[in-house]
Structures are given as structure tokens and as C-alpha cells.
């Protein structure tokens, strides 16, 4: 990856669909002097995504793309990102599947955070599935995105203990706390 923004910052775009606690945390991280990233834009498929308010508060531009079947507006998104020399895309609670073509255009430059210890529990409802299986641990994973769902190379994981009286909501909350720690850490580990 080449350095493009300022002397040492990587032009980054964050993709969200919902609450945006990871986005909020990545913004905080990006504002640190030594942070390797500069967040240039926040993209969402959902114009009601709560997380968009964090972007607005921090004067980061936002763009809504529908990511509809067929990806007919995909070239617009690619153009939009290339215009800002985006060199890193962080998916943070982004609920759409990116096309192979899109992933190819940003090969090795798209990261995702997933709320399980991959390769366990790819896809949705991870906390519920971990509880149903009576696992002792769950956790979270930062990984590169490839064309197979939640299957790209793992960068960093954090284990989280599951307790007897856990509910999906309780477990989610504890895992989210760890997500906020490992996402910036994983970004710092990248070889730019």
C-alpha cells in the first residue's frame, strides 16, 4: 500500500450500515497524532444509519449508495473512492456483500471486523450461535476481505469468555468493547 494523505497518513473510507460504534472508535483513533489513517469518507447503504451522525459531527463527508443487486452503481462508488485516493476500506457493521469486481479493485485493502472467532460462526447471529453451542469462549476478528464471506486472512483476534448467565445482548456488549480495541490495533499492524 502506498502512502497518500499527508506525510504518513493512509486515505481511508469506512463503510457502515447501522449504529457505528466501531466507526466512532475509528474516528477517535484517526484523530490521534500517530494514527496511520485519515478518514476521508463514510459510505453507507442506509441513509438512516445512526453512525452517520458521528461522521457529520467530525466533518467527514458521507455518501449513501444502495449497493443494490447487480451493483449497477458500483462504478460510481469506485470512482468516488478513487477520487480521494482511498487506499484502505474499513467495513464496520456494513451489512452488504461487496461484489467480486469491487473487491478486486481494492485487493488487499479492505478490512472487516466480525463478532466471532473466525472461522467459527461466519455470517449473522454469531452471539446466539455461540451460546446455543455452549461454547466457553467467543470473541472478535479483524480480517482482510476476499470474495468469500468472512473468509479472508485473519489479522487479529481477541477471545472473550462466555459466562453461564450470558445472553446474546450481554455477550455482544462485551465483545464490542474488544472490537474497539482490536480494530485500531490491526490497522497499526498493516504494512503500508
Interface residue list for ligand GRF (CB under 6 A) = 18-22, 51, 92-93, 113-115, 176, 179
Q: Is 82 or 161 the residue whose CB approaches ligand GRF more closely?
A: 161
DSSP H/E element including 10: strand 10-16
- Residue 190 to residue 87: CA distance in whole angstroms: 12
- Residue 48 to residue 7: CA distance in whole angstroms: 35
Conformation bin of residue 108: beta by default, left when phi > 0, alpha when psi is -120 to 50: left
- Compute the least distance from the CB of residue 92 to ligand GRF, in Å: 5
Examine the residue annotation and report whether 180 is marked as an active-site residue of this protein. no
- Compute the least distance from the CB of residue 117 to ligand GRF, in Å: 12
HSE value, Cβ hemisphere, 13 Å, CA-based, for 160: 27
Which listed residue (114, 127, 143, 180) is catalytic? 114
8 A C-beta contact, residue 48 and residue 74: no
Q: Is 5 or 116 the residue whose CB approaches ligand GRF more closely?
A: 116
Q: Is 36 or 93 the residue whose CB approaches ligand GRF more closely?
A: 93
- Compute the least distance from the CB of residue 33 to ligand GRF, in Å: 24
- Residue 139 to residue 171: CA distance in whole angstroms: 9
Torsion angle, CA of 184/49/168/138, rounded to 10 degrees? -20
8 A C-beta contact, residue 140 and residue 157: yes
- Compute the least distance from the CB of residue 72 to ligand GRF, in Å: 25
Q: Is 40 or 180 the residue whose CB approaches ligand GRF more closely?
A: 180
* Residues labelled as active-site residues: 114
Amino acid at each position: 500500500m502506498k502512502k497518500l494523505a499527508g506525510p504518513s497518513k493512509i486515505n481511508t473510507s469506512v463503510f457502515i450500515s447501522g449504529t457505528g460504534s466501531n466507526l466512532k472508535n475509528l474516528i477517535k483513533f484517526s484523530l490521534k497524532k500517530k494514527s496511520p489513517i485519515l478518514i476521508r469518507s463514510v459510505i453507507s447503504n442506509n441513509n438512516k444509519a445512526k453512525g452517520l451522525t458521528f461522521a457529520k459531527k467530525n466533518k467527514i463527508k458521507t455518501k449513501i449508495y444502495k449497493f443494490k443487486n447487480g451493483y449497477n452503481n458500483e462504478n460510481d462508488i469506485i470512482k468516488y473512492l478513487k477520487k480521494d485516493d482511498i487506499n484502505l476500506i474499513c467495513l464496520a457493521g456494513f451489512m452488504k456483500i461487496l461484489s467480486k469486481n469491487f473487491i478486486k479493485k481494492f485487493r488487499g485493502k479492505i478490512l472487516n471486523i466480525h463478532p466471532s472467532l473466525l472461522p467459527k460462526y461466519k455470517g449473522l447471529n454469531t452471539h446466539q450461535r455461540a451460546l446455543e453451542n455452549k461454547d466457553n469462549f467467543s470473541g472478535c476478528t479483524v480480517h482482510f476481505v476476499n470474495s468469500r464471506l468472512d473468509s479472508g486472512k485473519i489479522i487479529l483476534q481477541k477471545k472473550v469468555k462466555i459466562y453461564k448467565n450470558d445472553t446474546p445482548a450481554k455477550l455482544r456488549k462485551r465483545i464490542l468493547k474488544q472490537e474497539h480495541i482490536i480494530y485500531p490495533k490491526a490497522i497499526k499492524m498493516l504494512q503500508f
